[in-house]
Amino acid sequence: MNKQYSYPLDMMWSTEEISSVLSFLNQVEAAYEGGTQAEALLTSYSVFKKVVPGKAQEKQIDREFQESSGYSTYQAVKMAKEKGRGVVRLGN
């Protein structure tokens, strides 16, 4: 996948909030690029949800991230929730 994409960030977020969102998006990337632990993905998602509590904004971030990277945050979280533990892999 093209690594020259941008992240959907809100410049009104604090540095800590941006770091939390990036951590979650990095976990999603890892799920597509070889695998990541379901627990780590879900932990980063729960921190992400503290920054982005609303479903509308979450869906917007997912849509923007998927358009630029090809990776779906929704699918990654869905699979991690279904597995509960172990490695989540979504890539080819």
pLDDT in tens, 34-69: 999 999 999 999 999 999 999 999 999 999 999 999
**Is residue 90 in some structural domain?**
no
**Is residue 35 in some structural domain?**
yes
Q: Whole-prediction pTM value?
A: 0.90
**Is residue 38 in some structural domain?**
yes
**Is residue 56 in some structural domain?**
yes
**Is residue 9 in some structural domain?**
no
Count: domains in the chain: 1
Provide the domain limits for residue 59: 15-84
The domain spanning residue 50 has which CATH number? 1.10.220.80
Q: Tens of pLDDT along 27-43?
A: 999 999 999 999 999 99
pLDDT of residue 92: 63
**Is residue 10 in some structural domain?**
no
Phi, psi dihedral angles at 36 (to 5 degrees): -150, 160
